[in-house]
Structure 1
């Protein structure tokens, strides 16, 4: 992959950075804007997020734990990836990080290049996982419809499961249609 195609991953991404205000955070937000991101910055963390947020970068601070937990729960419920920005020298943060379960962890001191690489990797990984879940859900729905069609055939014609499957397969082959289409026809025609 080229540098441009990797950076294109960030184009149009709406992200929120929860980090104490500093010159480096403001400069990082400006850099992200130049890359085509829509970056928003605030501190302290808030449980409510903009409805179009696609990525969170959150500074992990032990004093903000009561605010961090609901933020992370809310983001997980909405399938928003989170990169925790943590001080790697503070071992007291490890139990909190384990509890919060971010998608990735980066250094709290903002290193723009390293953080951009982490953001690209996290977004690509999360998007890939979302596509896999969608494929698995479609496969599960397909299997449920096939099982329902077999059940209808078994009840209607007194067939066993393998006989119902063979009947559907034969019908699909004879009509040059998919098993899914045949299953839908069985369900809509015979289940009344």
Structure 2
């Protein structure tokens, strides 16, 4: 996280530094963008930069945390649904809002792959989603909630990577998320067949 002095500078200056860094990380790569070049482009000295951040990795984390917070605003709070149909409608709408934002913000689209799904804002949204789905009977209750939450997070993380990869390859601004929703439905459904017996049972 940034050092306290960074949080005390003017909001416009903070946004300027983050915007410059975001552009550099998106253009040159999250793991290869030059810290010195970012500092120079932002118009701050190296001495001042080290009063704001511990170094390049700290600046990158600050940029990704800012992106995670902005994506959380795009998603909005999960509103408890009145039934299964509304649950799926709300999930589809949230996915589409996120896709639209990424379509309109190419730098965010490039860096989104580096935002961990377990970030606080994403984790809170996901837990609210899973809790609501469980309440409605959309999501199975025969699996430990923490395991189910982790599995859902993993599926969504894989889906994000898949969508972003297809996006980069085809420049399709409206990728079809139907496959992702089917995958989630399969994960969340209670199986009707009995599990096969394992050795010792």
TM interval, shorter chain, is: under 0.3
After TM superposition, the score normalised by the length of structure 2 is 0.26
Which is bigger in relative contact order (C-alpha 8 A, separation at least 6)?
2
TM-score where L is the length of structure 1? 0.27
Structure 1 or 2: more helix by fraction = 2
